[in-house]
């Protein structure tokens, strides 16, 4: 391959990696803005590309309908996370015995 093509491929992969890291580890407001921007791009795309469904799904995630990722419960009602947390089992550390090998 040519050195120019190699450098271009490496630059593209590095840019994709950095953008994925920013999206995954960045603030949630950045994710919402990126989704809104992608939805705008999908809305402006030609109708021949059939991006209407993708645009609709991106708009739904930006609008906060359904699981928004704020409480990590993925439930539709805000009380679901509190109920699930109340069902946790608490075991006192003193009651846990040491294992016997043998």
Number of domains the chain contains: 1
Residue 68 forms part of a structural domain:
yes
Q: What are phi and psi for residue 91, nearest 5 degrees?
A: -115, 120
pLDDT tens, the chain, 102 aa long: 799 999 999 999 999 999 999 888 988 888 888 889 999 999 999 999 999 999 999 888 887 644 555 555 555 555 555 555 556 777 787 777 777 776
Place of tokens 């609008």: 63
Full domain range(s) for residue 60: 3-95
**Residue 102 placed within a domain:** no
pTM greater than the 0.85 cutoff: no
């Amino acid at each position: 391959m040519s050195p120019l093509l190699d450098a271009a491929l490496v630059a593209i992969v590095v840019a994709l990696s950095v953008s994925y890291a920013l999206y995954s580890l960045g603030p949630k407001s950045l994710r919402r803005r990126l989704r809104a921007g992608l939805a705008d791009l999908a809305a402006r795309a030609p109708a021949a590309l059939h991006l209407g469904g993708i645009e609709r799904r991106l708009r739904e995630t930006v609008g906060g309908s359904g699981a928004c990722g704020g409480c990590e419960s993925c439930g539709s009602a805000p009380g679901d996370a509190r109920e699930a947390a109340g069902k946790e089992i608490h075991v006192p550390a003193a009651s846990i015995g040491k294992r016997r090998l043998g």
